[in-house]
Amino acid sequence: MKESLLTGLAAIVGPRWVRHRRAELATYTMDGLPTHESWPGVVVIPGSRHELIDVMKALHASKTPFVARGAGTGLSGGALAEGNAVLVALTRLNHILSVDPASRRAVVEPGVVNARLSEAVLPYGLQYVPDPSSQTACTIGGNVAENAGGPHCLKAGVTTNHVTDLEIILPDGSLARLGSTHGDAWGPDLVGLFVGSEGMFGIACSITVRLEPIPPAVRTMLADFPGIRAASEAVSAIIASGIVPAALEMMDQSCVQAVEASIYAAGYPTDAAAVLLVELDGQPEGVAAEHAVVEPLLRAHGARHVLTAESAADRARLWQGRKKAFGAMGRIAPDLVVQDAVVPRSALPDVLDRISEIRDRYALHISNVFHAGDGNLHPNISFDRRNLELASRVREASREIMTVCVAAGGSITGEHGVGNDKLDYMPLIFDAETLGAMQATRRVFDPGERANPGKVVPIHACREWCASPAARGNGRQQHGSLAEVAHD
Ligand SMILES: Cc1cc2nc3c(=O)[nH]c(=O)nc-3n(C[C@H](O)[C@H](O)[C@H](O)COP(=O)(O)OP(=O)(O)OC[C@H]3O[C@@H](n4cnc5c(N)ncnc54)[C@H](O)[C@@H]3O)c2cc1C
């Protein structure tokens, strides 16, 4: 890293907020996925919007690549920077700028932690609905970049449905406003384009979100099943009945046992092959009517017991087990790959069977906990990354799981994004022309290709790349090196 750049960044944010010593950088070498590690050139942590803008201008002037980072809870290696890239950590930009209960809007800085926003608007009887299980740590900026989902996104929609407008800093340091606070903006849906762009289009520096009233009635049910297939079929039957629960989550036996052995024990039955958490919300009469349909449906599909939470504390306990399930899996092995794919709901039973078969063939420990109502699977592979042979089996099994999901009509990610982990899977679902179009869209925002380089679009698979003999000659060695390939 050039001394002049370090000095320039320190002049903007203060020397304390420029981290470049090896011990300081160690914190930033991974996100929530333990299979990817890379060392940033430097980490800069601006403390205000003005500092962030000045940092971006300095990076532009020196043509330095950069990567935005929120809390680093991502699960696809998206917030990693390597080589001479600067990691721009946004955790100090953590202010809720305004709350307008009348129009049910809040404006937040990108580093606001998801759960803090809902806490702040609770006195107004409002909530911010998207609730990733990481919500006590992850940031709204990271949620925007990943288009995050969560258990309660089944009925209410994922992050993109809750963001009305954005102020973004483009890679050249200029500001752009996307969307409109007061209604639908003219022209193409640029907010929709930015949400889910995984840090490739610039940095979201001010985010306006919708707030929703807290529903007057909620019922949370725990149903346990002797077989995974029966639980999956119950999920399809509930949706087919016309009822869309607020949340519909599944955990298999391995997950339940990990939760029950942990401090998050929620009272799930450890002898069940699978449990479903079903939550209904709305007006009291509507919730009671839906409950009268859903409970018998669960039993008709083989549920041994259906327990309805009787108090807010009961409900919180049931949810805590689900939301802390990944943490509970830390008891199984030191490392955990949380995989993410989505399949048509009707394909769930067959796909889960195939995942069990892959688990057995590769002799791995896989636990499933997922947003069943959306068909959004999270097969979680517990392992020890110091065992290289085991790590290689994890990689192979992950690829097979993705292939199975795509063959079932699904996709390689439901909510955790592509990052650098899933680059190689992109050609499973997109042809070279489509990947080229994605790359062209990226250049509209970032002609110099300095924002989160090497992520999301596998350049070697793009049509324009395939058309370049020089690039083909260098083949996969250049995989991940966006800038070099683009100049071929
Ligand atoms: C235990 C656990 C449970 C999880 N549960 C869920 C879940 O239920 N649903 C779900 O969707 N995800 C879940 N995740 C994944 C993760 O929490 C989400 O992807 C989250 O949105 C990441 O937020 P972050 O602040 O940690 O972002 P980071 O990991 O820091 O960054 C993620 C990506 O966003 C980019 N980025 C960050 N901030 C900005 C910004 N302001 N502007 C532009 N780009 C930016 C980064 O460059 C990177 O590409 C879980 C993760 C863990 C560890």
Distance, CA of 442 to CA of 202 (rounded, Å): 10
Q: Which of 149, 19, 20, 155 is nearest to 75 (CA)?
A: 149
Tell me phi and psi for residue 406, to 5 degrees: -65, -40
- Whole-angstrom CA distances from 438 to 199, 443, 458, 461 are 14, 9, 10, 12
Does ligand 1 have an atom closer than 6 angstroms to the CB of 133? yes
Domains of the chain with CATH codes: 3-89 (3.30.43.10), 96-213 (3.30.465.10), 217-327 (3.30.70.2190), 332-407 (3.30.70.2740), 423-486 (no CATH)
pLDDT, position 468? 54
Distance 88 CA to ligand 1 centre (A): 15
422 ligand 1 Cβ < 6 A = no
**What distance lies between CA 338 and its chain's CA centroid?**
11
pLDDT of residue 462: 67
Q: Which residues contact 359 (CB under 8 A, 6 or more apart)?
A: 365, 366, 397
Type of residue at 155: K
pLDDT of residue 466: 61
**β-bridge mates for residue 379, sequence order:** 368
- Residue 374, SS3? helix
Atom 52 in ligand 1: residue holding the nearest Cα: 134
- Nearest ligand 1 atom to the CA of 110 is 41
Gap between the Cα atoms of 217 and 284, Å rounded: 5
Contact 114/132 with Cβ under 8 angstroms? yes
DSSP string, 40-100: -SEEE--SSHHHHHHHHHHHHHTT--EEEESSS--SSSTT---TTPEEEE-TT---EEEEE
Q: Is the distance from the beta carbon of residue 295 to the nearest atom of ligand 1 less than 6 Å?
A: no
SS3 state of residue 299: helix
78 with 145: CB under 8 angstroms? yes
Name residue, tokens 């029966």.
Answer: 230
Token couple for 88 = 């721009």
As a dihedral over the C-alpha atoms of residue 137, residue 142, residue 146, residue 151, rounded to 10 degrees, the angle is: 30
State both tokens at 276. Answer: 């479903």
Decide: 301 and 255 in contact? Cβ < 8 Å.
no
What six digits make up the tokens of 483? 């800038």
94: CB partners within 8 A, 6+ apart: 109, 111, 112, 113, 116, 139
Give the Cα separation of 26 and 6 in Å (integer). Answer: 18
From first to last of its 488 residues, what are the pLDDT tens digits of the chain?
Answer: 788 999 999 999 999 999 999 999 999 999 999 999 999 999 999 999 999 999 999 999 999 999 999 999 999 999 999 888 999 999 999 999 999 999 999 999 999 999 999 999 999 999 999 999 999 999 999 999 999 999 999 999 999 999 999 999 999 999 999 998 776 778 889 999 999 999 999 999 999 999 999 999 999 999 999 999 999 999 999 999 999 999 999 999 999 999 999 999 999 999 999 999 999 999 999 999 999 999 999 999 999 999 999 999 999 999 999 999 999 999 999 999 999 999 998 899 999 999 999 999 999 999 999 999 999 999 999 999 999 999 999 999 999 999 999 999 999 999 999 999 999 999 999 999 999 999 999 999 999 999 999 999 997 776 665 655 544 444 333 333 323 323 22
Compute the distance between CA of residue 236 and CA of residue 417 in angstroms, rounded to an integer: 25
Ligand 1 pocket, residue 145 CB under 6 Å:
yes
* Ligand 1 pocket check for 381: Cβ under 6 Å: no
Contact 244, 315 (CB under 8 A): no
Question: Which atom from ligand 1 is nearest to the alpha carbon of 327?
Answer: 1
**What single letter denotes the amino acid at residue 207?**
I
**b/e string for 351-387 if b means 16 or more Cβ within 10 A?**
bbebbeebbeebebebbbbbbbbbbbbbbbbbbebee
Provide the token pair at 72: 């680093």
Q: Is 245 in the pocket of ligand 1 (CB under 6 A)?
A: no
> Which residue lies with its CA nearest to atom 19 of ligand 1?
74
CA of 141 to the centre of ligand 1 (A): 8
Pocket probe mutation, ligand 1, options 28, 43, 69, max atoms within 8 Å of Cβ: 69
CB 195 within 8 A of CB 201: no
Closest CA to 214 of 128, 311, 314: 128
Predicted pLDDT at 459: 79
Angle between helices 388-407 and 348-361 (to 10 degrees): 160
Tell how far the Cα of 32 is from the centroid of ligand 1, in angstroms: 9
| CB of residue 67 inside a 6 A radius of ligand 1 | yes
Residue 376 identity: N
Which atom of ligand 1 approaches the CA of 205 most closely? 41
The two tokens of residue 126 are 């409002």
**Within 13 Å, how many C-alpha atoms sit on residue 423's CB side?**
22
Q: For residue 198, how far is its CA from the centre of ligand 1 (angstroms)?
A: 9
Q: Can you give the C-alpha Rg of the chain in angstroms?
A: 23
Ligand 1 contact, 201 CB (< 6 A): no
In the three-class reduction of DSSP (H, G, I as helix; E, B as strand; rest coil), residue 361 is classed as helix
Task: Compute the distance between CA of residue 159 and CA of residue 130 in angstroms, rounded to an integer.
Answer: 6
Q: At what angle do helices 348-361 and 228-240 cross, to 10 degrees?
A: 160
pLDDT for res 439: 94
Compute the distance between CA of residue 81 and CA of residue 43 in angstroms, rounded to an integer.
9
